[in-house]
Each structure stands twice: as C-alpha cells, then as structure tokens.
C-alpha cells in the first residue's frame, strides 16, 4: 500500500505564519488559522491577498470569458465536492452556468451529520475563505445571490459568518455585479443539508428532500438554476482561483487531487478536524491526533451512512476513494469514527441504526417503515430475541430500503447496516443467540445527539 | 422510444392500486409500498402502465418516456 505520509495540523494547535505566497504543502485551507475565533478580513487579506473578481468590472463578454476560464481552471484542478458525494465541482458549475435564468449560489454548511464538524469549523475560523469561494463560484455561474446556509446548531459559526459578511459589505458595495450575500440558518437534522431539502427550506417549505427532477442545477430556489457547493469545496475554490490548478494538484492522488478536511473521533488523544492530503494513510491521521488511547475495534468510515471497517484491516488503509473502495467504504464528508475495543459493536450499530431511523424525513414509506424495522431488527439481535434469523431480517430490510426513497438517506442507513453484518458477523451471531454482552450496558461511544427530527424542526430559524 | 415506470415515493401512500393493475411490473413490500421493476416496458405493457398511473389515488405512479434521462438520485447530503 503506497499511502503517502503527510503532515497534518490540528486546528487547536495550528500557528501558520502569515504569508501571501501559496502554501506549498499542508495545511492549505487551515493555513494560518487562529487558535480561537475567526480570522478577520484584515488577517485574511494579509494571508491570502485580495480576491480578484476579474470579470466584474469589465464588459459582458469579458465577464463571460472570465467565468468560463474559472470553471476550466477548477476542472483542471480535479476538485470534487466535499459534502460527501464527491461530484466533480466544475461539472456542476458548468451545468448551472448553462441553465436558463439567473443563477443562485448556496454555500452549504448545513452539517446535520453529528460526526462531522468541519463545516462549522470553517465558518467559525475561516468565514472569509468560504465567502471568497462563494463569490468566485457566483462569478463562475453568473449568480447575483450567494446564500451561506449554516446549521442552526453551529452558533459560533453563525456569529462568525454574520460578522464576516458585515466586514465585506463595503467591498461588495463597490464591486460591480457583486452578488447579494446573505446568511440562512437551516434546521440541524440529518437530511436538511441534502440539496433539494435546502432548496425546499429556503423557498419557504420544510427542510426535507423533494422528488426530483428537476434537479436544483436546472430549477432550484425560486425556480432559478442553483449551484449548491459545500463550504469546504468553496474554500478549495478560493485557493484554486488564487494559486491555480497545478498548485492544487501538488498534493493528493491523480484521481483525487488536493487536501481534505477530516473529522476524527473516538479513542485518540486529540479528536477533532484535521486537514489531510488525499491518499494519506489512516495511521498518519491517527498519529497527528496524538495516537490511539485504546485498541481500535473498528472504524465507521464516512459517518452514519458509511461503512464499518474491521480494526485489523485498518493498518494499511489509505484515505482515498481507491483505497477505501475494496472495504466498501468512502470518506463521505470526511468522517472517521473509531470504535474502541471496550465498546460493544452490536450495541453501537443498534444505536446508530435507531438514530438514522429517527433522522428520516418521514416522507417516503420505505424509509419510514424500513429504517424503523431495521432498528427494531438490531434491537432484537442485541437482546437475543431474534435468534439466527435476525441477521437475515436486517439484510432483507436493507434491500427494501435501497433506492426507494426520494433521497439517499435510506440507502445510507442500509449501507451501514450491511457493513455491520459483514464486519461484526461473529458478535451479531453471539448476541442473537445469547443476548447482551458485558459491554452492552456501557454508555454509547459513537457521538449521537438525541435530536429527533421533530424537535429539530421546531428550532427557531431566524 | 421506450417507457419506464417510476414512483414518487413522497406522494405514494401505499394504496396498492398499481400492483393490482400492473402486477407484471409491480409488487408490494410488507408495508404496501410498490417495488418496481424499472427496466423498459414491453410495447404491450405501456397502455397498462398508463392505466395504472391514472388509477393511482395520489398520482404517485409515473410512466416516463425513455428519452428523458433516468431520474438522478441526489445524495442524502450535498
């Protein structure tokens, strides 16, 4: 395995020296971040230099050429979306740019996955980098509005972004064709950040997915073409626009260039958000976090819609699409959850399955019933009530939950359940036969807020 | 030009009419929601599919002409 060792910066301990030059290595996004609080506009400009919105002053033809060149550069960089789907960013931008009507850009930080903290971290620490990326994206697709969508649970991020938008008001007022920039606060439940749910919510509806087509890039918010990019993706866009695609490709793998933010949790000395080179080894990430504090039983890669990978297979794992594929896993939105040997993997999976069921938008029958039944099936295994049939039941329910919802939420829950069947086969069989183990009564290790959808919906959306 | 059957899972309320009218393509799961074979319909099935779509009380069953791209599924998280 040719995992490339790399240095990583833990956010709390990062002290990058300000420099206007492109940082050649890591950290990139997290370069020069403060130990606490957000970089001010002055600090941001000292570090990165001014943002050249090249086409904004010139004639319309010049603008169009500049926009096309921006998208070309992003295409050359090979940047893919960091919200979990890893869709090529330039392809998305080109589709929006080519759609009929004036576009809108949504900077998506509606981070409903409790195991991910990177989006709120970016809002909290680097709001101007996010805004730069949003402004460039708006220029690239010809948008006249940029809406930063923050998760309602990210209070510090919301505050920092409010201040940052106010700091930019002057600059934007004096820039021709600058988009109107707003902040929207989105409910904190899991599917609220899904693209159609975001469009639905901002349009006055509930933060729940809708049935597509049309997809948002054709007809999104107010029926206008809508570009929805994760805020980390936009952070990379801001750097690519300044330093170019070749610079971006100096890190990462040929198919997955650049760096990625990863939220690491579990039995490590310093859990948190790290910037890694794509393709870095998992062990280098764990080292950067101060090493493990207990033996690792398994990892849930990609979060609660991701896949379990057994601890004994983690040694050689590199954090790239190609290296994770044989394990049936992806990094998703950059999430690595480690489970210690002290935890019961069956109890943890049952909790995760119940949580995913609770996060259903409760719109599509197969998701409502399938995910509840899947959580029930894991509970029955856990308590020894299911007998040997319990695992077959989970498998059948996973099949019934796949590709049958308006969004991929049930698919994600099924994916996680199926990986548990494989990785924890022995433990599941043991519980199904003999009931709870000694570790079952321990408090859950996986970070799962008790946040049912209905409660989240009632949160004030200012 | 071929046709496919698909369901809007949000508006579907598990009335089950579709499985009655198009059993060659649609079965019901244990909760009464349709499990659909979405491979292209044979010529003679198109009219039956259309009839099933018209009979759906919530208009959740759709017959899609093949030329349009197949429904892209959006990721649960953008």
Shortest Cα distance from B14 to chain A (angstroms)? 8
Nearest CB to A365: which of B9, B73, B77?
A: B9
**Residue A338 has which token pair?**
């480690």
Assign A452 a pLDDT band (cuts: 50, 70, 90): very low
In sequence order, the 6+-apart residues with CB closer than 8 A to the CB of A224 are A101, A102, A103, A104
- The answer to whether position B57 is within a domain reads yes
Query: From the CA of B16, how many Å to the nearest CA of chain A?
Result: 12
The domain ranges of chain A are 20-52+61-248, 259-340, 345-456
pLDDT > 90? residue A396: yes
Say how far apart CA A158 and CA A166 lie, in whole Å. Answer: 12
Angle at A45 between CA A39 and CA A50, to 5 degrees: 145
Q: How far is B30 from chain A (nearest CA, A)?
A: 9
Helix axes A425-434, A389-401, angle to 10 degrees: 120
Task: Band the pLDDT of A273: cuts 50, 70, 90.
Answer: very high
Give per-residue pLDDT as tens, B3-62.
999 999 999 999 999 999 999 999 999 999 999 999 999 988 999 999 999 999 999 999
Q: How far is CA A329 from CA A275, A291, A320, in A?
A: 19, 22, 10
Give the bridge partners for A263, in sequence order: A273, A335
How far B60 CA sits from the closest chain A CA (Å)?
A: 11
Whether B74 and chain A come into contact, CB under 8 Å, resolves to yes
Q: Give the gap in angstroms from C-alpha A101 to the nearest C-alpha of chain B.
A: 21
CA neighbor of A336 nearest in space, from A309, A301, A306: A301
Q: Is A400 within 8 Å of B75 when comparing Cβ atoms?
A: no
Is B7 part of any domain?
yes
Task: Look at residue B71 and tell me if it is in a domain.
Answer: no
Architecture of domain A20-52+61-248: 3-Layer(aba) Sandwich (3.40)
Q: What is the rounded CA–CA span in Å between residue A402 and residue A370?
A: 9
Name the least confident of A1-5, A200-204, A425-429: A1-5
**Mean pLDDT computed over every residue of chain A:** 90
8 Å CB contact of A195 and B31: no
Q: Is B73 domain-assigned?
A: no
Decide whether A259-340 matches A345-456 in CATH topology. Answer: no
The C-alpha R_g of chain B, in whole angstroms, comes to 12
pLDDT in tens, B42-57: 988 999 999 999 999 9
Q: What is the pTM of this model?
A: 0.90
Candidates A230, A333, A400; nearest CB to B29: A400
Instruction: Read off the CATH number of the domain in which B49 is found.
Output: 3.30.70.20
CB A114 within 8 A of CB A153: no
Residue found under tokens 């576009």: A103
The answer to the question of residue B18 being in a domain is: yes
Residue A116, token pair as written in the block: 């991910």
Total domains, chain B: 1
pLDDT for the residue numbered A214: 86
A109 within 8 A of A297, measured Cβ to Cβ: no
CB B75 to CB A85 under 8 A? yes
Query: Residue A268 has what pLDDT?
Result: 96
C-alpha span between A454 and A423 (Å, rounded)? 33
CA distance A405 to A407: 5
Assign A35 a pLDDT band (cuts: 50, 70, 90): confident
**pLDDT tens digits, residue range A351-363?**
999 999 999 999 9
From A84, A190, A369, residue closest to B75, measured CB to CB: A84
Name the pLDDT band for A51 (thresholds 50, 70, 90): confident
Identify the architecture of domain A345-456 in CATH: Up-down Bundle (1.20)
Mean pLDDT value of segment A291-302: 97
Q: With both helix axes pointing from N to C terminus, report the angle between A127-141 and A89-98 in degrees, rounded to the nearest 10.
A: 50
pLDDT band at A144 (very low <50, low <70, confident <90, very high): very high
pLDDT for the residue numbered A54 = 61
- Architecture of the domain delimited by A259-340: Roll (3.10)
Mark yes or no for CB contact A400/B78 under 8 Å: no
Closest CA in chain B for residue A413: B76
Would you tell me which residues 7-66 of chain B have a C-beta closer than 8 angstroms to some C-beta of chain A?
8-14, 29-33, 35
What is the predicted pLDDT for the residue at A64?
86
Please give the pLDDT value at position A2. 34
- With a cut of 50, say whether residue A453 has pLDDT above it: no
Whether residue B74 is contained in a domain is answered as no
Flag whether pLDDT at A308 surpasses 90. yes
Q: Does B75 map to a domain? A: no
- Measured in whole angstroms, the distance separating CA B35 from the mean position of its chain's CA atoms is 8
Helix (H, G, I), strand (E, B) or coil at A340: strand
List of E strands, A266-356: 272-277, 296-301, 307-310, 335-340
pLDDT of residue A176: 83
Would you give the DSSP letter of residue A438?
G
Size of interface A-B (CB pairs under 8 A): 98
Query: What is the radius of gyration, based on Cα positions, of chain A?
Result: 22
The DSSP secondary structure of A168-196, one letter per residue, reads HHHHHHTSTTPPEEEEEEE--SGGGGSHH
Residue A107 to residues A123, A146, A248, A331, Cα–Cα distance (Å): 11, 7, 21, 21
The answer, yes or no, to whether residue A454 has pLDDT greater than 70, is no
- Decide if B26 is inside a domain: yes
Q: Is A162 exposed, middle or buried (0-12, 13-18, 19+ CB in 10 A)?
A: middle
Residue B31 is part of which domain span? 3-65
Torsion from C-alpha of A430, A431, A434, A435, nearest 10 degrees: 170
Residue A196 reports pLDDT greater than 90: yes
- pLDDT value at residue A57: 54
What pLDDT band is residue B77 in, cutting at 50, 70 and 90? very low
């Amino acid at each position: 395995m040719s995992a490339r060792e790399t240095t990583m910066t833990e956010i709390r301990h990062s002290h990058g020296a300000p420099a206007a030059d492109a940082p050649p290595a890591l950290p990139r996004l997290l370069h020069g971040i403060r130990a606490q609080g957000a970089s001010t506009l002055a600090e941001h400009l000292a570090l990165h230099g001014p943002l050249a919105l090249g086409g904004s002053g010139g004639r319309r033809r010049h603008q169009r050429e500049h926009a096309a060149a921006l998208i070309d550069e992003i295409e050359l960089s090979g940047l893919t979306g960091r919200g979990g789907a890893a869709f090529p960013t330039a392809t998305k931008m080109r589709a929006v740019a080519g759609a009929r009507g004036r576009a809108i850009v949504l900077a998506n930080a509606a981070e409903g996955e409790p195991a991910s903290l990177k989006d709120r971290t970016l809002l909290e620490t680097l709001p101007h980098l996010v805004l730069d990326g949003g402004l460039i994206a708006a220029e690239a697709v010809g948008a006249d509005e940029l809406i930063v969508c923050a998760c309602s649970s990210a209070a510090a991020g919301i505050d920092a972004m409010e201040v940052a938008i106010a700091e930019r008001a002057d600059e934007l007022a004096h820039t021709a064709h600058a988009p109107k920039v707003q902040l929207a606060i989105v409910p904190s439940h899991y599917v609220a950040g899904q693209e159609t749910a975001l469009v639905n919510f901002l349009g006055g509806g509930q933060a729940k997915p809708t049935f597509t087509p049309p997809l948002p890039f054709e007809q999104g918010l107010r029926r206008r073409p809508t570009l929805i990019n994760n805020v980390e993706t936009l952070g990379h866009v801001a750097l690519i626009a300044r330093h170019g695609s070749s610079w971006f490709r100096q890190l990462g793998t040929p198919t997955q260039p650049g760096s990625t933010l990863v939220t690491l949790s579990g039995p490590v000395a310093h859990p948190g958000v790290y910037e890694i080179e794509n393709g870095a080894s998992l062990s280098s990430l764990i080292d950067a976090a101060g090493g493990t504090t207990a033996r690792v039983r398994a990892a849930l890669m990609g979060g609660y819609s991701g896949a379990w990978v057994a601890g004994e297979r983690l040694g050689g794992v590199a954090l790239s699409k190609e290296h994770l594929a044989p394990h049936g896993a992806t990094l998703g939105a950059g999430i690595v959850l480690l489970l210690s040997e002290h935890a019961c993997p069956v109890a943890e999976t049952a909790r995760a399955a119940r949580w995913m069921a609770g996060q259903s938008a409760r719109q599509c029958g197969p998701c409502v019933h399938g995910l509840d039944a899947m959580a029930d099936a894991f509970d029955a295994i856990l308590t020894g009530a299911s007998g040997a049939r319990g695992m077959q039941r989970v498998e059948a329910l996973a099949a019934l939950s796949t590709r049958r919802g308006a969004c991929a939420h049930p698919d994600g829950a099924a994916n996680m359940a199926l990986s548990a069947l494989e990785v924890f086969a022995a433990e599941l069989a043991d519980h199904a036969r003999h009931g709870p183990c000694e570790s079952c009564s321990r408090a859950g290790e996986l970070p799962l807020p008790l946040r049912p959808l209905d409660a989240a919906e009632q949160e004030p959306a200012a | 030009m071929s046709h496919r059957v698909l369901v809007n899972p949000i508006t579907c309320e598990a009335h089950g009419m579709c499985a009655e009218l198009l059993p060659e393509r649609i079965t019901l799961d244990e909760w009464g929601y349709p499990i659909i074979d979405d491979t292209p319909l044979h010529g003679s099935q198109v009219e039956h599919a259309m009839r099933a779509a018209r009979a759906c009380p919530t208009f959740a069953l759709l017959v899609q002409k093949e030329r349009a791209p197949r429904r892209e599924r959006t990721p649960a998280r953008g």
